[in-house]
Amino acid sequence: MKLYEDLASKAGITTILSSRTSVLNAANTIFGRYDDLRSPGENVNFQTTILSRFHMIFIARD
């Protein structure tokens, strides 16, 4: 979750607006089946720079 603040000024009134943002992502595996011997990054073929933006990664298998 990211926290952002923005300073708004209108008609002589100044205030700080806060917002929180969450990102949810889903991906299919490369080979059509999840391989327990590979890492989650290898299974979905995301770059390390993209995976590092997520604080938590959950694997849902059926």
pLDDT in tens, 5-31: 788 888 888 898 888 777 777 778 887
Is 11 contained in some domain?
no
pTM value is 0.45
Q: How many CB atoms lie within 10 A of CB 38?
A: 13
The residue range of the domain holding 42 is 24-62
Could you tell me if residue 33 is inside a domain? yes
Evaluate whether 19 touches 6 at the Cβ level (below 8 Å).
yes
What is the pLDDT, as a whole number, of residue 1?
58
For residue 7, tell me if it sits in a domain. no
pLDDT value of position 55: 76
Domain for residue 52, yes or no? yes
Q: Quick check: is 45 in a domain?
A: yes
Q: What are phi and psi of 55, to 5 degrees?
A: -80, -30
In this predicted structure, the answer to whether residue 33 has a pLDDT above a threshold of 80 is: yes
Counting the structural domains of the chain, the total is 1
- Residue 55 maps to a domain: yes
Q: What is the DSSP string of the chain?
A: -EEEEEEEEETTEEEEEEEEE--------TTSS--TTS-HHHHHT--HHHHTT-S-------
